[in-house]
Chains A and B, each alone.
Chain A
């Protein structure tokens, strides 16, 4: 009996660890392969079978190259793309958080007619496939004469704002009503209550949703490609990478694309690391009564 249970436990543990390994590989392999490829020269990339680390085609010695990175970092298009992406993603995030937290305060804490319908209307905004709104949006933007960067910022609200609003609404709802009432009796206006009492308490949620909004805006491709078609100077990083051209016609600069992709994820990783503790607090908030 005892022995059987021991073996069963062992199998369970092995299965569990195998599962973890599978998930880790599944998540990390693309990133690893991007880094691996970015360190290879053109000829190394075409080696068969593909090597797990950059190796010299002849001697098979470990020989990485940073040529792709230097090329990418000297590429004006790419650097301008980085700047554009930073501007667009930051503005989108800030706007989405400001508007989203106002909306969430109202939707989560105030009583008014049409609260529920408003919530679902906001959610419905995200349900259209982006392609279907693209042409319409393009027409609107041209009619209004908006610049490409402004257009991107506003159109990214289509997917960032409903998301931030919904997550923050849930968060505001969980804050006790007594806090608001207490502030009210203390003499705070609704805006002061929002700004000085409720907003600081939602900081973890703000950070989490803000980061996710930033990532979504940073990686957006379809709108960016369309809206910058007449203004190449406004191209964001994903578009800039897509426009990479090789030294000769029809050459796909795979190594450089991978180097650019690796570089582009760096800001995101840095941001996540900075806010790491806040994110965990945000994801687990409400689990423990405080």
Chain B
């Protein structure tokens, strides 16, 4: 069994035009992980991947693959394979030659090449296409050839740079599942770059959230969803995104309430203790609540926690309500059977255990 762990220590990338694309990235990747680097465009995620591949010089910091410092080792000697966003298949070669090119360069025997290519082609269902040229293939097929070219090499690490972004929506969902299966089957380390949080959440065993070249949080999907460390991560993960409301914390007979214009939510004891420890009980904060953590009651007769429904979006299994809470727009996800209509007045209740609180200045999460 081949082990492949990576260690990124204080990685930095400065471009000649002065842009500091990657800032002090520290990351330890264990063997067989499916790591997803995710973030908005220009966050440096592709640069990190390209530095791991050796296509981009490391300005400062150290990169270890299996405890070997690889900063100055050429891509071909790093034992990695990469799938490019536009696949980068060699147009003048057949699919077979495309997949066998890397092996041929490594002076592998013809029989061995054929064996490896056939095996990879079988995994990916490409057996019938081996004699074709890339331009005769559909987008999805090309994408699989790009994967196949990586698989035949049997590398320690798979690097993928937005491999699904050129596929149509339906194929993307399908390929997502196939990639997860492939990861289990090959049992090697995958490092995957995407700007799509859904891809990150569905495939990654651990997710690295980047913004402006800085790593904001590294966690498994559940943790990332339930305990984002700051407002950026909270807003980036989850769809539709988390609602943010300006609010204040008020202590009241030992209990702590989060008050905002048009409503209030009481905090449970565990959260109160944490806030008291941090001396945060009388402060202006940002309240975060995910659409699925808002409970709605159709009759909004009370004088507190009342919202007006502005738009409803019925998606079949669920309905999104676009609420107006004292002038603030908040999205809630509800059961379609509630049968709520536009202009209805409804009573809302933020589930106290699911409430997120963020500091107004540094946007850090206040609760763990």
User: Which of A's residues lie within 8 Å of B, judged by CB?
Assistant: 176, 178-179, 181-188, 192, 196-197, 200-201, 290
Interface centre among B75, B106, B153 (most CB of A within 10 A): B75
Closest to B105 in A: A187
CB <8 Å contact, B90 and A197? yes
At the interface with chain A, which of B18-26, B81-89, B357-365? Answer: B81-89
**Which residues from A are CB-within-8-Å of B90?**
179, 182-183, 197
CB distance from B26 to the nearest CB of A (A): 25
User: How far is A148 from B41 in the complex, measured between Cα atoms in Å?
Assistant: 61
**Which residues from B are CB-within-8-Å of A179?**
88, 90
Partner of A185, one of B53, B86, B89, B92: B53
User: How far is A117 from B217 in the complex, measured between Cα atoms in Å?
Assistant: 46
Known interface pairs A184-B76, A186-B101, A188-B76; 5 further A-B residue pairs with C-beta atoms within 8 A, sorted by A's residue number: A176-B88, A178-B85, A178-B88, A185-B76, A192-B105
Partner of B102, one of A176, A181, A187, A200: A187
> How does the 8 Å CB contact mask read for B91-128 relative to A, with 1 for contact and 0 for none?
11000000001100110000000000000000000000
User: How far is A176 from B75 in the complex, measured between Cα atoms in Å?
Assistant: 18
User: How far is A184 from B159 in the complex, measured between Cα atoms in Å?
Assistant: 14
**Which residues from A are CB-within-8-Å of B85?**
178
Report if B237 contacts A (CB, 8 A).
no
CB distance from A53 to the nearest CB of B (A): 49
**Which residues from B are CB-within-8-Å of A192?**
105
19 pairs from A and B in contact (CB 8 Å cutoff): A178-B86, A182-B88, A182-B89, A184-B54, A184-B55, A184-B74, A184-B76, A185-B54, A185-B76, A185-B80, A185-B81, A186-B76, A186-B149, A186-B153, A187-B76, A187-B106, A192-B105, A201-B92, A290-B135
Q: Would you list which residues of chain B between 61 and 85 have a CB under 8 Å from chain A?
A: 74-76, 80-82, 84-85
Interface centre among B55, B82, B88, B106 (most CB of A within 10 A): B88
User: How far is A112 from B349 in the complex, measured between Cα atoms in Å?
Assistant: 62
User: How far is A184 from B91 in the complex, measured between Cα atoms in Å?
Assistant: 16
User: How far is A187 from B106 in the complex, measured between Cα atoms in Å?
Assistant: 7
User: How far is A77 from B131 in the complex, measured between Cα atoms in Å?
Assistant: 53
CB distance from B93 to the nearest CB of A (A): 8
CB distance from B134 to the nearest CB of A (A): 9
Closest to B159 in A: A185
CB <8 Å contact, B55 and A181? yes
Top-9 shortest CB links A-B: A186-B102, A178-B88, A187-B76, A182-B88, A187-B105, A200-B92, A178-B84, A185-B82, A185-B75
Total residues of chain B contacting the partner, CB 8 A: 24
User: How far is A2 from B155 in the complex, measured between Cα atoms in Å?
Assistant: 71
User: How far is A15 from B80 in the complex, measured between Cα atoms in Å?
Assistant: 64
**Which residues from A are CB-within-8-Å of B82?**
181-182, 185
**Which residues from B are CB-within-8-Å of A200?**
92
CB distance from B13 to the nearest CB of A (A): 15
User: How far is A200 from B153 in the complex, measured between Cα atoms in Å?
Assistant: 24
User: How far is A178 from B85 in the complex, measured between Cα atoms in Å?
Assistant: 9
Interface SS majority for chain A: helix
Interface SS majority for chain B: loop
User: How far is A192 from B90 in the complex, measured between Cα atoms in Å?
Assistant: 13
CB distance from A288 to the nearest CB of B (A): 11
Partner of B75, one of A178, A184, A197, A201: A184
Interface centre among B74, B81, B84 (most CB of A within 10 A): B84
User: How far is A176 from B88 in the complex, measured between Cα atoms in Å?
Assistant: 8
CB distance from B15 to the nearest CB of A (A): 12
**Which residues from A are CB-within-8-Å of B81?**
185
**Which residues from A are CB-within-8-Å of B74?**
184
CB distance from A260 to the nearest CB of B (A): 41
User: How far is A176 from B55 in the complex, measured between Cα atoms in Å?
Assistant: 14
CB distance from A179 to the nearest CB of B (A): 5
User: How far is A33 from B76 in the complex, measured between Cα atoms in Å?
Assistant: 62
CB <8 Å contact, A181 and B135? no
CB distance from A171 to the nearest CB of B (A): 14
CB distance from B22 to the nearest CB of A (A): 18
**Which residues from B are CB-within-8-Å of A183?**
90, 101
Partner of A181, one of B80, B84, B91, B153: B84
CB distance from B87 to the nearest CB of A (A): 8
User: How far is A262 from B106 in the complex, measured between Cα atoms in Å?
Assistant: 53
**Which residues from A are CB-within-8-Å of B75?**
184-185
CB distance from B191 to the nearest CB of A (A): 13
CB distance from A58 to the nearest CB of B (A): 64
User: How far is A186 from B105 in the complex, measured between Cα atoms in Å?
Assistant: 8
CB <8 Å contact, B105 and A188? yes
User: How far is A201 from B81 in the complex, measured between Cα atoms in Å?
Assistant: 23
CB distance from B287 to the nearest CB of A (A): 45
Closest to B92 in A: A200
CB distance from B104 to the nearest CB of A (A): 9
CB distance from B307 to the nearest CB of A (A): 50
CB distance from A190 to the nearest CB of B (A): 10
**Which residues from A are CB-within-8-Å of B106?**
187
Interface centre among B80, B82, B135, B149 (most CB of A within 10 A): B82
CB distance from A7 to the nearest CB of B (A): 47
User: How far is A290 from B87 in the complex, measured between Cα atoms in Å?
Assistant: 12
User: How far is A54 from B75 in the complex, measured between Cα atoms in Å?
Assistant: 71
**Which residues from A are CB-within-8-Å of B54?**
184-185
User: How far is A179 from B102 in the complex, measured between Cα atoms in Å?
Assistant: 13
Partner of A182, one of B84, B92, B135: B84
**Which residues from A are CB-within-8-Å of B88?**
176, 178-179, 181-182
**Which residues from B are CB-within-8-Å of A197?**
90
Closest to A188 in B: B105
CB distance from A172 to the nearest CB of B (A): 15
Closest to A182 in B: B88
**Which residues from B are CB-within-8-Å of A187?**
76, 102, 105-106
